[in-house]
Chains A and B, each alone.
Chain A
Amino acid sequence: MSSLWEYANPRKFMSTSTTLLPWVSAIAGLCLVVGLVWGFFFTPDDFRQGSTVKIIYLHVPAAIMAINAWLMMLVASLVWVIRRHHVSALAAKAAAPVGMIFTLIALYTGAVWGQPMWGSWWEWDPRLTSFLILFLFYLGYIALWEAVDNPDSAADLTSVLCLVGSVFAIISRYALLFWNQGLHQGASLSLDAEENVADVFWYPLLICIAGFGFLFLALVLYRTQTEIRARRVKALIAQERMT
């Protein structure tokens, strides 16, 4: 069996990701279209929330992926810090704008849903606040990559920021359990069947979550390829200047 560390080799990563990308992108597109069309057109209104329940198909997958994207960046950053594999640092860099967009979608759809349901676009609820802080961490992480010229120093500094931000990623996930207060409701999906939403909402929601997950994977593979090429451009230009 081939080792996972083989993918630290940019050439190996490029060839494998080029093979995977069309499949992952197609699955992402299919899941998103099926899940969102099913959720929007073919699910009933909720007896309390009315048609705003349809926002769940965007809000929940985006929120789940916003947190998981940061955790993926954490793992990639730790690999960089411990083993100094450049591809992992570049994968973390590539994932950040995608995670930031997912966080923004979660915040936006939450606000649009909250206005008619809670009577407010925004509340300083523990989960909402920790999500806003996570969004600011994403912005800071992206800005730090752009601000530092030396790519190794940038990878070191952003890894530290990622480690600190992980506290908020975890708090965003478990804010309800930690504080047991605020307006935000409990989990829509759980291993405990009692907590789950009704089946009629659950199946399209699962497909949307898979769609967001595969979209994240496709974008990270694609953007990591771009970062690897950009790094090569930099290296070749530096070589030209020296000769």
Chain B
Amino acid sequence: MMPDLGRYATEVLMAYGGSIALLIAIVAASIWKARRVKRRLEVVEARREEKRP
């Protein structure tokens, strides 16, 4: 299944490995931050509801 990359196998695999890792990193960082902010908003909104007369 793996194509024969010949003498440039290291470079091609480095390019794919590094780029896919960077893409996964930005997606993961975005999801992590979104969840953190969403949780924080829920806490603050709940506190606000509690304080309402």
Binding site for B on A (CB under 8 A): 36, 40-41, 45, 50-52, 54-55, 58-59, 62, 97-98, 101, 104-105, 108-109, 112-113, 115-116, 215, 219, 222-223, 225-226, 229-230, 232-233, 236-237, 239-240, 243
Contacts and interface: CB of A to CB of B under 8 A. Distances in A.
Residue picked from A45, A104, A105, A237, most chain B C-beta under 10 Å: A105
Contacts of A237: 44
Interface of B: 1, 3-9, 11-12, 14-16, 18-19, 22-23, 25-27, 29-31, 33-34, 37-38, 40-41, 44-45, 47-48, 51
Nearest to A230: B37
Residue picked from B8, B30, B33, B34, most chain A C-beta under 10 Å: B8
A233 B37 contact: yes
A55 B22 contact: no
B6 A45 contact: yes
Contacts of A108: 15, 18-19, 22
A243 B48 CA distance: 11
A41 B2 CA distance: 7
Contacts, number: 97
B34 A105 contact: no
A109 B23 CA distance: 13
B14 to A, nearest CB: 5
Given A58-B15, A105-B18, A112-B14, 5 more contacts: A45-B6, A58-B19, A105-B23, A223-B34, A243-B51
A52 B15 CA distance: 9
B22 A104 contact: yes
Pick the 9 closest A-B CB pairs, nearest first: A51-B5, A226-B34, A101-B26, A58-B19, A112-B15, A55-B15, A109-B15, A52-B8, A236-B44
B16 A58 contact: yes
B8 A50 contact: yes
Given A40-B16, A41-B3, A55-B12, A236 B30 contact: no
